[in-house]
Amino acid sequence: MSLRPAGVLFLALVPWTVVAGDGELEALVQGLGDEVYATRESNTAELILRAQRNADPVRILALQHFRRDPEPEIRLRCETVLRWLSQNHGFLGVQHRESTLFAVDGKSRRGVELFTVISGQPAHAAGLKVGDTVLEIDGISLDVDDPSNAFSRAIHRLGVGRQTTLKIDRLGEVLTLQVTTGALPKELDTLDPELRFRQWLNSHTQDAEKPAP
């Protein structure tokens, strides 16, 4: 794959200090700068393989090195891993917006209302319907400042083929549904790849400061 140098994208000129995380993953990232080409290639492939199983720690560590590692080869290969992550995010096939529900006692609760559920896509297959309001994803409440964004980020971070549990409100009845994420169909993917990558990076800016899980 042909990539532009990682240095052209959002690299901050700040002292390099990696946030402590998984020592084995850190060793793989350090190996991205190994003088042996085969080691650099195998470590890149191994990081992508691990991201398929558990994206969070790989994403966080790769972002840290991509933004601040002094070694250009490590930054470039972390960009490769991050581009893969940005292209292989979870997809449900819904459009949604912030919604506020009111209980009988007058208390309000934020959630995410589905106003489009695409036929044949994961959400539709799991039984989600237009008008459903998602209250929780994997036990995490969406009663937050920006529930729609929080929901999108949570689904994207799951990756493809991962099962998630949604607690929804359907006309006052609370239901729990299991949904398996899919991949974004090519016919729905109209965004320029470079723009998608930049947007993905911007949406994960804070992850670069987090400790790896």
Alpha helices in the chain (DSSP H): 23-30, 37-53, 55-68, 72-87, 122-126, 147-158, 193-203
Q: Does residue 33 sit in the same domain as residue 107?
A: no
| Assigned domain for 1 exists | no
Q: Is the pLDDT of residue 3 over 70?
A: no
Q: Which of 142, 118, 140, 141 is nearest to 128 (CA)?
A: 118
Q: Give the pLDDT score at 22.
A: 67
Over residues 69-101, the pLDDT tens digits come to 999 999 999 999 999 988 888 899 999 999 988
Give the Cα separation of 51 and 213 in Å (integer). 13
pTM of the model: 0.68
Tens-digit pLDDT profile for residues 118-168: 999 999 999 999 999 999 999 999 999 999 989 988 888 888 888 999 999
- Span 98-114, pLDDT tens digits: 998 877 667 888 999 99
Long-range contacts of 141-148 (CB under 8 A, 24+ apart): 142/110, 142/111, 142/112, 143/109, 143/110, 143/111, 144/110, 146/98, 147/98, 147/99, 147/110, 147/111, 147/112, 148/96, 148/97, 148/98, 148/112
Alpha-carbon distance 146 to 111, whole Å? 9
- Would you say residue 83 lies in a domain? yes
Kindly report the number of other CB atoms within 10 A of residue 122's CB atom: 23
Residues 108 and 166 in one domain: yes
Same domain (yes/no): 84, 98: no
Does 15 share its domain with 57? yes
> Domain residues for 162?
94-182
**Looking at the structure, do residues 177 and 201 belong to the same domain, yes or no?**
no
Structural domain tally of the chain?
A: 2
Judge if 54 and 126 occupy the same domain: no
Can you give the CATH number for the domain in which 177 is found?
2.30.42.10
